[in-house]
Structure 1
Amino acid sequence: MDLNLRKAIQNNVAGHNEEQLEATITEAIQSGEEKMLPGLGVLFEMYWQQASEDEKEGILNKLEEEVGKL
């Protein structure tokens, strides 16, 4: 059996509008379930691949800030 989790997640959110995507992200975070993390990772990957260098730098700065709080 060939399971491509990344493709399955992409197919699951294909065609979602902004509200649906926000609901998906919010639900994944609020549930705290480990099984939701791959979906968030795929969404982040999709964003990252299309982000400008300025957007990437902003994300990295924010992540560094948040990681520093741990």
Structure 2
Amino acid sequence: MNLNLRNAILHNVSGNNQDELKDTIVDAIQNGEEKMLPGLGVLFEVIWNNSSEEDKQEMLHTLESGLK
């Protein structure tokens, strides 16, 4: 079976409003289940690909600070 996980995740959240997207993210983080990590990665990929260079630098700064 050839399953494209990225496309499946995008299909599942496509058309969701901000509240639904936030619920998806918060639920994935609060559950702490390893199986949710790919979904969060795909959502981060969408954010990254649709962010300005300034926003990317801010995200990197936030990430770096959070990992210290």
TM-score range, shorter chain: over 0.9
Q: Distance in 1 between matches of 2:49 and 2:65?
A: 22
Identify the residue that residue 32 of structure 1 maps to in structure 2.
32
Query: Equivalent residue of 2:15, what SS?
Result: coil
Q: CA deviation at 1:9?
A: 0.1
Q: CA deviation at 1:48?
A: 0.3
Q: Match for 2:2: what amino acid?
A: D
Q: Match for 1:29: what amino acid?
A: I
Work out whether 1:51 is the aligned partner of 2:28: no
Q: Percent identity?
A: 56
- Give the gaps of 5 or more residues in structure 2: none
CA RMSD of aligned residues (A): 0.5
Q: Distance in 2 between matches of 1:66 and 1:18?
A: 24
Q: Distance in 1 between matches of 2:23 and 2:55?
A: 23
Q: Match for 1:46: what amino acid?
A: V
Q: CA deviation at 1:38?
A: 0.5
> TM (normalized to structure 1)?
0.95
Q: How many residues align?
A: 68
Q: Match for 1:13: what amino acid?
A: V
Q: Distance in 2 between matches of 1:42 and 1:28?
A: 13
- Give the gaps of 5 or more residues in structure 1: none
Query: Equivalent residue of 2:16, what SS?
Result: coil
